[in-house]
Amino acid sequence: MDKTNVFTKNGKALVSKVRASANLKESIETAVDLIGGFNKAISHGDKVFVKPNFNSDDPFPASSDPEFVKAAVRLLYEAGASEVVIIESSGMAWFPTIKVVTKTGMVKAAKDCGAELRILDDGEWVETAINGKHLKQISIAKEAVDKTAKFVWLPCMKTHRYASFTLSLKLAIGLLNFQMRGHMHSGHLEEKIAELNLSVHPDLIIMDGRKCFITGGPDVGRLKNPNTIMASGDRIAIDVEAIKMIRSFQGSSLQADPWSYGQIRRSVELGLGAKSEKDYQIIDKYTSSR
């Protein structure tokens, strides 16, 4: 891995869970403060790329809530970021991305918080070698491999009809060239998602779990309301905890051990984060934030 997770304590990755309040910005800030605060990852003058999930033009949690993205961007500026760029390319069935971000309200939200909204559809792609079983070469957005910027991911919490779930690990597919996405879905999708993450490394992950899908996805599914915001620097740990949360609802399509799913199992093999629950610590503010 190119980056070290800075959100750790006593050698363990940290994962926070906060019950969201009416003050969304405050709830996000609390979630990040519990693992060390924005300034553990963001320094004064940093350029920050933010990757939400606008896979489709369907409402949250199918796609990110623009108000959540806006609140996170404002917190990044308060932490000292000199420039925040929201990067996105939606699912192939909903192209062009500009139509998706306009319909969902993200274009207006980006203007409101002073962020650039950069559509990747016609952007520049970088050919990158990957030493995976299923992926050897990928074509990925140049922003994804920019070593001069920080990277903040804002995933939703939902199941996925083809990949079991779409949380932080799967967010990386939105950074791929369109032709490459077709190859991703040609078999071994979950393992390929993990291998894709060898090329991209978020500095901070803030997951919007106020609503989630427990079946279906990514565009429509059975809706539940965990009312939770999570933060971590570890993709595996935060995804495992999100799977547990989705699985806790009766009727969820996620019934297996979280560590048994292809995305998680292969990510562990690749050393992308926690290898077991002994490798991370949960900081839970449910009781104090009620």
Buried b (16+ CB within 10 A) or exposed e, 230-267: bbbbbbbbbbbbbbebbbebeebbbeeebeebbbbbbb
Query: For residue 56, what is the domain's CATH number?
Result: 3.40.50.11440
32 within a domain of the structure (yes/no):
yes
2 within a domain of the structure (yes/no): no
Asked if residues 73 and 154 have their Cβ atoms less than 8 Å apart, the reply is no
> Tens digit of pLDDT for each residue in 151-207?
999 999 999 999 999 999 999 999 999 889 888 988 999 999 999 999 999 999 999
pTM: 0.97
Domain assignment present for 3: no
- State the sign of the Cα–Cα–Cα–Cα dihedral 143, 145, 151, 157: positive
Cβ atoms within 10 Å of 183's Cβ, excluding its own: 15
What pLDDT does 287 receive?
45
Range of the domain at 74: 8-284
pLDDT band at 134; cut points 50, 70, 90: very high
Q: Identify the CA nearest to 40 among candidates 3, 74, 69.
A: 3
100 band by pLDDT with thresholds 50, 70 and 90: very high
Element (H, E) at 187: none
- The total number of structural domains in the chain stands at 1
Please give the sequence-ordered ranges of beta strands (E in DSSP) within 120-203, or none if there are none: 125-129, 137-141, 150-153, 156-160, 164-166
Residue 263 in any domain: the answer is yes
pLDDT-derived band of residue 2, with 50, 70 and 90 as boundaries? Answer: low
Q: Which secondary structure element, helix H or strand E, spans residue 60, and what is its range?
A: none
pLDDT tens profile 255-273? 999 999 999 999 999 999 9
In sequence order, the β-bridge partners of residue 232 are 15, 205
Distance from C-alpha of 72 to C-alpha of 24, rounded to nearest angstrom:
9
- In whole angstroms, give the CA distance from residue 17 to residue 101: 28
Assess if residue 278 is contained within a domain. yes
Q: What percent of the chain has pLDDT over 70?
A: 98
Instruction: Examine the pLDDT at 102 and tell me if it is beyond 70.
Output: yes
CA distance linking residue 239 with residue 272, whole number of Å: 12
- Determine the Cα–Cα distance for residues 151 and 202; give it in Å rounded to an integer: 5
d(CA 290, CA 287): 6
Pure H helices in the chain: 24-33, 66-78, 97-104, 106-113, 178-184, 189-196, 235-247, 262-269
pLDDT of residue 289: 39
pLDDT at 285: 77
Across the chain, what does the average pLDDT equal?
A: 95
Kindly report which listed range (82-86, 88-92, 225-229, 247-251) carries the lowest average pLDDT score. Answer: 88-92
- Between the alpha carbon of residue 74 and those of residues 71, 81, 235, the distances in Å are 5, 9, 23
**217 occurs within a structural domain:** yes
Note the pLDDT of residue 1: 45
Whole-number pLDDT of residue 56: 96
Higher pLDDT, 34 or 185: 34
Instruction: For residue 290, tell me if it sits in a domain.
Output: no
Query: Which CA distances in Å does 210 have to 65, 68, 102, 158, 198?
Result: 10, 10, 22, 11, 29
Distances (CA, A) of 109 to 72, 73, 81, 146, 175: 11, 10, 18, 25, 21
Share of the chain above pLDDT 90, in %: 92
CA gap 161, 219 in Å, rounded: 10
CB distance 280 to 12 below 8 Å: yes
Asked if the structure places residue 174 within a domain, the reply is yes
Question: At 286, phi and psi to the nearest 5?
Answer: -60, -50
The candidate with the shortest Cα–Cα distance to 116, out of 82, 165, 150, is 82
